[in-house]
Chain A
């Protein structure tokens, strides 16, 4: 049994999950807890491959899925698991559920995906930031109009218009997330950010014995 605790945040693009996990991290650090943050698609070993595949648009549903599994696995074996052993609270901005949702939409078999990612344990808490699809779309499409090819699901050939494709793709991902709701702590992401954060912190306090994670003063 590991001493540490694993917390993941999931949600659509534009759900505000990255903001919320950043606020959670800030609080835990200020309170002097042992905390480590890691995000999706950030392993240095596989980064070049992912970038190449995306730039050349040569990724298929299977290689897209496998390269992201390699990314999480590399971070899991080198950082997440050792830090959990060392008694850290590990925060993950996106975790395996992101792959379950996106890759299933791309046509990968759901059971196969669950098996591929079985190296990654169920987090102690998985927050899902729920927004109605239209709200998430609005936030992205008004604030950041430069959509990327894969982010918009253009590889699925849902539409030739990138914005239209993004909308359809996000709608499909939204449905996949919905199927997994039982595995999440659902946060209403239409509420003001500070209200969401209060709720997030209270869930963390109720589920994790935080005083065990205090850094020792030297």
Chain B
């Protein structure tokens, strides 16, 4: 049975959505994007058609939201609402049509990341949860879990540095960027623990080798879907 988180989207029906909707969550550096692309390949090998959504990827607001983030021109509440706009556009224009066509849709992050970031910045959990009442509940949601130290070393490896937002530089004063990153990601992990509990998200240990994590991920997703 398909469900919205709250009241759902006006003028959209939950009927005839035979596809599958999977969310892969995880903090920056957990290997999310790598595993999402391998998961797509895995489904396609099995003969499923796939599509992907994520943050800042909507036709409507993706580019503008990225720009606003990189110029640090958004205050925290505005950020939550802008991300919600971006996600709503993808739900209506990519997710629902793809599910209707029987696709497997994988979200590389979903409302949970936006919720966790909002809460870590002091926004009310009730407000942010209610905001996403328009969103569709996934068939399966997994969280790739790694320690802040692992996240930092993978982020360094990937980009040569740590990002402004992922080291919480808008809210973490004091210390160098590494220390801020660890402090911020530790706080974020705590909030995620609560979100994982509230939304019954399946945790996958992401500390191991890429292949080992992928194998566990495929196993969990199979259990949740089939």
Interface residues of A (CB under 8 A from B): 45-46, 48-49, 52-53, 58-63, 66-67, 69-70, 73-74, 76-78, 106-109, 111-112, 115-116, 118-119
Bound together, the chains give a CA A211 to CA B93 distance in angstroms of 53
Which residues of B lie under 8 Å from residue A66 when comparing CB positions?
A: 81, 84-85, 88
For residue B130, give the distance in angstroms from its CB to the closest CB of chain A: 5
Q: Tell me if B47 is interfacial: C-beta within 8 Å of chain A.
A: no
Q: Tell me if B59 is interfacial: C-beta within 8 Å of chain A.
A: yes
For residue A176, give the distance in angstroms from its CB to the closest CB of chain B: 15
Report which of A46, A58, A59, A109 forms a contact with B7, defined as CB distance below 8 A: A109
Check if B77 sits within 8 Å of A63, measured CB to CB: no
Interface 1/0 per residue, B123-137 and A, CB below 8 Å? 000010011011000
Bound together, the chains give a CA A46 to CA B86 distance in angstroms of 12
Chain A's closest residue to B134 (CB) is A62
Interface 1/0 per residue, B73-92 and A, CB below 8 Å? 11111100110110011001
Which residues of A lie under 8 Å from residue B127 when comparing CB positions?
A: 115, 118-119
Told that A62-B10, A109-B7, A115-B127 touch, could you supply 6 new A-B pairs with CB distance under 8 A? A58-B89, A61-B11, A70-B85, A73-B77, A108-B10, A115-B130
Report which of B7, B68, B85, B92 forms a contact with A112, defined as CB distance below 8 A: B7
For residue A95, give the distance in angstroms from its CB to the closest CB of chain B: 16
Bound together, the chains give a CA A73 to CA B11 distance in angstroms of 26
Which residues of B lie under 8 Å from residue A74 when comparing CB positions?
A: 74-75, 78
Chain A's closest residue to B130 (CB) is A115
Which residues of B lie under 8 Å from residue A63 when comparing CB positions?
A: 60, 85, 88-89, 92
10 A-B residue pairings within 8 Å (CB atoms): A45-B73, A48-B64, A52-B60, A53-B60, A58-B89, A61-B11, A62-B134, A63-B85, A109-B10, A116-B81
Which residues of B lie under 8 Å from residue A48 when comparing CB positions?
A: 64
For residue A137, give the distance in angstroms from its CB to the closest CB of chain B: 26
Q: Tell me if B177 is interfacial: C-beta within 8 Å of chain A.
A: no
Interface 1/0 per residue, B112-144 and A, CB below 8 Å? 000000000000000100110110000000000
Bound together, the chains give a CA A108 to CA B8 distance in angstroms of 9
Chain B's closest residue to A43 (CB) is B78
Bound together, the chains give a CA A62 to CA B89 distance in angstroms of 8
Check if B77 sits within 8 Å of A77, measured CB to CB: yes
For residue A179, give the distance in angstroms from its CB to the closest CB of chain B: 18
> Mostly helix, strand, loop or mixed at chain A's interface?
helix
Check if A49 sits within 8 Å of B85, measured CB to CB: yes
Check if A70 sits within 8 Å of B88, measured CB to CB: no
Check if B10 sits within 8 Å of A69, measured CB to CB: no
Report which of B7, B76, B78 forms a contact with A45, defined as CB distance below 8 A: B78
Check if B82 sits within 8 Å of A70, measured CB to CB: yes
Chain A's closest residue to B61 (CB) is A49
Check if B88 sits within 8 Å of A60, measured CB to CB: yes
Check if B92 sits within 8 Å of A62, measured CB to CB: yes
Given contacts A63-B88, A112-B7, A115-B127, contact A46 B82 (CB under 8 A): yes
Bound together, the chains give a CA A45 to CA B72 distance in angstroms of 11
For residue A195, give the distance in angstroms from its CB to the closest CB of chain B: 39
Given contacts A61-B10, A107-B11, A112-B130, contact A70 B81 (CB under 8 A): yes
Which residues of A lie under 8 Å from residue B85 when comparing CB positions?
A: 49, 63, 66-67, 70
Given contacts A106-B10, A109-B7, contact A62 B82 (CB under 8 A): no
Q: Tell me if B49 is interfacial: C-beta within 8 Å of chain A.
A: no
Chain A's closest residue to B58 (CB) is A63
Chain A's closest residue to B123 (CB) is A119
Check if A49 sits within 8 Å of B60, measured CB to CB: yes
Bound together, the chains give a CA A67 to CA B93 distance in angstroms of 16
For residue B74, give the distance in angstroms from its CB to the closest CB of chain A: 7
Bound together, the chains give a CA A116 to CA B134 distance in angstroms of 11
Check if B60 sits within 8 Å of A62, measured CB to CB: no
For residue A184, give the distance in angstroms from its CB to the closest CB of chain B: 25
Bound together, the chains give a CA A119 to CA B68 distance in angstroms of 21
Bound together, the chains give a CA A131 to CA B78 distance in angstroms of 34
Q: Tell me if B18 is interfacial: C-beta within 8 Å of chain A.
A: no
Check if A67 sits within 8 Å of B61, measured CB to CB: yes
Chain B's closest residue to A66 (CB) is B85
Q: Tell me if B9 is interfacial: C-beta within 8 Å of chain A.
A: yes
